[in-house]
Amino acid sequence: MNRLNCPRCTVAYPRWRVPFGPGVFNCPSCGARLTFSRASARRIGFVGGLVLFGAALLGGLVLGFDRIWTWWFMVPFLGLAVILGHLVKIFVGVLELPTDHDGQRGRL
């Protein structure tokens, strides 16, 4: 399903820490600094965009497309977008060791 594991020691990173943590994570076992890979970030953006488009389309079908641009639709939709964005990051993301400016992994 997802690969939220440390690439160094292969210990699973707790999923509940991803939405509440910073952009750089620390492995609970070996202490390695972890980030999302570039390919994973692209995949998160693509899947997140599809999910939000589907949610807006479904909301337009249920409530009518003339009400999508009103404030009482946009405020809950933006809240839903934040929650869905974190869920997509949890289920689609892949953690890796960060690279420094010389291209070496794990030196950051």
Q: What is the pLDDT of residues 61-108, one digit of tens each?
A: 888 888 777 888 888 888 888 888 888 888 888 888 887 544 555 544
DSSP 64-94: -GGGTTSHHHHHHHHHHHHHHHHHHHHHH-B
- The structure tokens listed for 29 are 């076992």
pTM above 0.85, yes or no: no
